[in-house]
Amino acid sequence: MEIVWSDFAISNLKEIYDYYKENANHKVAKKIKSEIFQSTNQLKIFPESGQIEFYLKKLNRNHRYLISGNYKIIYNIKGNKVLIYDIFDVRRNPDKMLK
Residue 36 has pLDDT above 70, yes or no: yes
Distance CA 25, CA 41 (A): 25
User: What pLDDT is stored for residue 96 in this prediction?
Assistant: 74
The set of long-range contacts for 48-54, using a CB threshold of 8 Å and a minimum separation of 24, is 48/77, 50/75, 53/97
The set of long-range contacts for 87-94, using a CB threshold of 8 Å and a minimum separation of 24, is 87/9, 87/12, 87/13, 87/16, 87/36, 88/12, 89/16, 94/55
Rounded to two decimals, the pTM is 0.88
Assign domain 2-89 to a CATH class: alpha beta
Residue 6 has pLDDT above 90, yes or no: yes
Residue 77 has pLDDT above 80, yes or no: yes
